[in-house]
Amino acid sequence: MSNYELMVIFTPVLSEEDYKAAQKKFADLVTDNGGELVHENPWGLKSLAYPIQKKTTGMYLVLEFKAPSDFNEKLKIQLNRDENVLRYMVTKLDKHAQAYNAKKRGTYDAEPKPVEA
């Protein structure tokens, strides 16, 4: 299984309940297809760099997960079918990106190296 990061921008007209339901939908999609959710980070409402479908803001969600490589096609189909999704991006994480994300979350397990004087 490989590590991936999914960033989704949902339409800003979603209510809080709909936003939570969309988060749960994609998190459940990962786990139901043999994947494992590593970290979920809902950013909430943010401004867009440029208008998308005449909207200047969007509800952001970042999911980090482990999944088999054939899962990506199923995920893309679901993302394209969902009319609340403005944009999405799936990125495969290498070991450096995984370490950076773990360090950013504060769950980095590496031992500190002693400094020689």
Q: Bin 3: left if φ > 0, else alpha if -120 < ψ < 50, else beta.
A: beta
Whole-model pTM: value is 0.80
3-state secondary structure of 23: helix
pLDDT of res. 76: 92
H helices of the chain, in order, are 16-32, 71-81, 95-105
Q: What is the mean pLDDT of residues 14-41?
A: 89
Question: Has residue 60 got a pLDDT over 60?
Answer: yes
Distance (Å, whole) CA 3 – CA 7? 14
Amino acid identity, residue 46?
K
pLDDT of res. 89: 93
> Domains in the chain and their CATH numbers?
2-94 (3.30.70.60)
Model pLDDT for residues 36-51, shown as the tens digit of each residue: 888 888 888 999 999 9
Decide if 57 contacts 47 (C-beta within 8 A). yes
